Every structure is written in structure tokens, then in C-alpha cells.
Structure 1
Amino acid sequence: MASDTQILKGLLEGCILKIVSENETYGYEICEKLIEYGFEAISESSVYPILIRLEKKKLLYSVMKKSPLGPMRKYYYLTDEGGEELKAFTVSWGKIKKNVDSVLEG
């Protein structure tokens, strides 16, 4: 399906907001968590542009911190607006999932 990528981008924004809402985290760790959740085809080249976009929308903010393993890392945090967006995403996803399930179940 040609539009899989577009669908996935929108869903990934919501999933990333959820991951960041649970704890401070950095880009590579977000990628690893998405892979653990089953998004096997996800790469850093997909995630970092989304993080930049979410920061520009003021849904996330970041802080550079010293890493225990080397160079500084950019840690991401949810803003209040990001929390509201996450709530809206959760409601929208619930409705969309219910509708798609209804169609698929016939």
C-alpha cells in the first residue's frame, strides 16, 4: 500500500509522544522502544525528523545532558501542549481503530 508511509508518520507522532510522556528519553532510545513495540522497520532517519517537527510544534522540548557513555545527548520531554495532543491522539486513535475494526470484521 503506497500510503503506508504517510499513515505511519501520523501514528508515530502519537506513539513518540506517549513514549516521551513516560520518562525523559533520547532519540536512539525512542527508536529502540518503537522496535520493541513491533515497529521493526523504524530507523533513526524516520524518528529524528519527527522529533524536530514535534519540537517546532512545541509539543516536546529538549535538554542537552551529559551521557554516561560518551558525548552529550539530547533528552526529550513532553510539554503541557504535548500532553494535550497525546490525549487528543488517544481519543482519535480509539475512534479510528474501532471504525477500521468494524469494517474488517464485516
Structure 2
Amino acid sequence: MTPIGTQELDRELKKGSAELLILSLIEHRARHGYEISKLIEERSGGVLKFNVASFYPLLYRLEERGMIAGRWVEKAGQRRRRYYKLTAAGKEMLKTQRSTWRDFVHAIQVITEAENA
């Protein structure tokens, strides 16, 4: 078995948490894609950054699956932006993903801290 390198692990962790992060950030208000990606980067202290080439296709897939709904908004003097909001299905998905994430993190903590107890 080949050990997973830091970059590969980082990529897999980001991939596995991206939906949860996006759904969480639009839970209470609609946001545009750039704002969502910047909030993820800022709130994680720069640890989590998403490449535009992978981030926007993820938004489109969430929209296709009915988890989020997007609408174009034009404001004077600004470029047109697509704002995303959570759908009812997205709220259920977010609830499930949060629960799964809490269970996962708890299990990792129990395992990695077991010898220190």
C-alpha cells in the first residue's frame, strides 16, 4: 500500500468537504460564486482554496441536482453575477452532511487521541 502524500490528502479532504462548505455558506442568504469561494478561503485562514476550474463546475452540479438554485442579478456599474440559494432538498442534504461530518470528525478524534487518554 502506497502512503498518501500531503497534497493528495489535501485534495481529497477538500473534495469531500466542498459541498458541505458551499451549502453552509448559502444557508441563510444567497451568495454569488466568487463570494462563496472567498469566504471559504478567508474563514479557513487560507488553508482552503478552490481552483476556479473545479469550483464553478461544482456549483453547476449542485444546481443540476436541485440542491441549490441560481439566478442572474445585474447591478448598475457591476458585472452580472449568479447568486445561489439553498433549496428544500439542499437544506436536507446540508443537515445530513453536517451530521455525517460530525460523526466522522468525532471518530477521527477518538482514534487519534486514544493513546493520550
The normalised TM-score by structure 1 is 0.90
Q: 2:15 & 2:38 partners in 1: Cα distance?
A: 17
Greater strand proportion: 1
Match of 1:102 among 104, 107, 110: 110
* Identity in percent: 27
One-letter amino acid of the structure 1 residue matched with residue 85 of structure 2: Y
- State the superposition RMSD in angstroms: 1.5
- Does the Cα contact within 8 Å between 2:31 and 2:85 map onto a contact in 1? yes
Match of 2:35 among 29, 32, 36: 29
In the comparison of the two structures, how many residue pairs are matched?
106
* Larger Rg over CA atoms: 2
- Which segments of 5 or more consecutive residues in structure 2 lack a partner in the other structure? none
- Does the Cα contact within 8 Å between 1:27 and 1:44 map onto a contact in 2? no
The normalised TM-score by structure 2 is 0.82
SS at match of 2:66: coil
Q: 1:102 & 1:68 partners in 2: Cα distance?
A: 53
